[in-house]
Structure 1
Amino acid sequence: MPRQKILIIDDEKEINDLIRSYIIKEDYLAFSAYDGKRALALVEEENPDLIILDVMLPDIDGTHLSLQIRAKTNAPILFLSCKGEEIDKIIALSAGGDDYMTKPFMPGELIARIKAHLRRRQSSQYGSSELEEAKMYNFPGLSVNMQTREVFADGVSANLTAKEFDILTLLLGNPKRIFTVDQIFEHAWKLNSLEGDSRTVMVYISTLRKKIESNPANPKYILSVRGVGYKFNHNLFNDKK
């Protein structure tokens, strides 16, 4: 199996080199960029399996760069930042990020998160699941293609990120089950949920609703169960019969 590629985008050479050394020790191929222009070029040239992105770059804001990268690839984007406020995390995740870690970080946790994202990506590309047997789900105003991982809302591509698709299909595949935010996080990120991760899930649910719901404030697909979590509207399955 070809070695997986990881792109590190951080203008601080010392940090970039340090992360690179951790990655190489784990037998991944590492590529470094110190600004947005070079980063976009490497995304095109190398098609990385995962991207580590600093929020603050000399020529472009990391969240703006994330949007440009997301238009080219669905590879997981793991943000690194010295900013630890909740609003910073929300902005980064809303800009297409899949994860967010604050500096300084523990090398072991960084590698664990990298491995979790890559396992999930590999599973989605080559693995199969019970859901995939259905191949296609069609509801009024919503179509989900399990094989191509495409979602259409009112006939228009929803352009879901990998994590958004994973969350949607978790709920879709278990329409009568209510999932807590911790369960959703652990399924989508393949990591144990920690304090603050519940907010990450809430941001993703909010963004997902904006992409697939005609009225996100009054959703008909992804329903909230007060004090418990979220579920897919199982009544839509009855409507199909």
Structure 2
Amino acid sequence: MKYWNGTEVTEFYLWGFGGQRQLQPALFTVFLVIYTTSMVGNTGMILLIHTDSRLQTPMYFFLQHLAFVDICYTSAITPKMLQNFVVDDKSVTFGGCLVQLLVYAIFATSDCYILAAMAVDRYVAIWFNLTFTVSVVIFSYICILAAILKMPSAAGRKKTFSTCASHLTAVTIFYGTLSYMYLQPPSEQAQENMKVASVFYGIVIPMLNPLIYSLRNKEVKEAVKMIGKKFFTLGQNC
């Protein structure tokens, strides 16, 4: 019979920003506000697209699913992080850590594919008006820019580019942060930078996406105004 000399791993300790104990109340407040804004913004985007018939197009179909995926993958890590800011026991079970990692990885990967599908959708839309991976996004936007530059009207080029500006902003932030995380040379400072970048990637970006698509999108702003008028009318009738 063979005997193995080893210790079974049953839990991990998530230190995160644990070294800055005096900043933990402030960090808790900041990340709670970000998480709440992200949940409200993405949930609102889903409900808005679902209720407004003018937004029943392929682009908004993907945007609705992007909002759902953002809710899922930020919720995989943020509640536990918030908990660690207010409790002394920062441990997580091996099974809990594994589930958290799998859920986060699945939905973060889904985010990449949805962004790629949205890029292809924008390219197809622009191409016919004229006549799952990072490479798909880059290739699609090269084709989009080439198609826009071929348009004879400056006003037409501006209008067409504005329809892609929101998605291009979201893609740049998403993959820019991801590239920053993985292209840094290994060092002690790089580890601290990775913490900040991973927080931005996993918590801040899901909050920014609904803001980017709502603030730069005329159709979404008009839908928000329409729903606002309906609520105002109902309030007056009551």
What band does the TM-score fall into relative to the shorter chain? Answer: under 0.3
Flag the structure with larger Rg: 2
* TM-score normalised over the length of structure 2: 0.25
Bigger RCO of structures 1 and 2 (CA < 8 A, at least 6 apart): 2
Q: Which has the higher strand share?
A: 1
Q: Which has the higher helix share?
A: 2
